[in-house]
Amino acid sequence: MMGKQVLFLINGPNLNLLGTREPNTYGSDTLDDVVQLVKNTAEGFKIVHHQSNHEGDLVDYIQSAGKEADGVILNPAAYTHTSVAIRDAISAISVPVIEVHISNVHRRESFRHHSYISPVSSGQIVGFGVDGYRLATLGLIEKIRKGEEK
């Protein structure tokens, strides 16, 4: 396997509240549980985790991933539906980005049905709860092993 063997795990606004925020929608696992799940899944890869409630921070993390990582697992949360800046940051990097959502956004409010992120991502995983992060990790590693860029 070539590359840095580093994955960035980037989580957007309110995901720091996992475990207590709307447990009927997001479950009872915490963000620490998510990070540990990704670390346990990503054999041989270092996981660098970032979470922010601020759009500019997320843009900075994505740009850093373009230089420092082999790929990105990104849950942009509410910014999925509003952020051209995050979309542009993803477009500016060459490493694959997998978009993850804990809930099935397509079964929720209509404003959540549109993603600015999906058209520039390598893939999207929705509706599997926090296990979506495990699936994203496996898919991302497979893309990296095959030498696929986004």
Residues with a catalytic annotation lie at 26, 101
**Which residue in this structure is represented by tokens 């409630």?**
53
Estimate to the nearest angstrom the gap between the alpha carbon of 40 and the chain centroid.
16
Over its C-alpha atoms, the chain yields an Rg (Å, rounded) of: 14
* Other beta carbons within 10 Å of 115: 21
3-state SS assignment for residue 7: strand
Contact, 129 vs 104, CB < 8 A?
no
- Alpha-carbon torsion (94, 96, 99, 102), positive or negative: negative
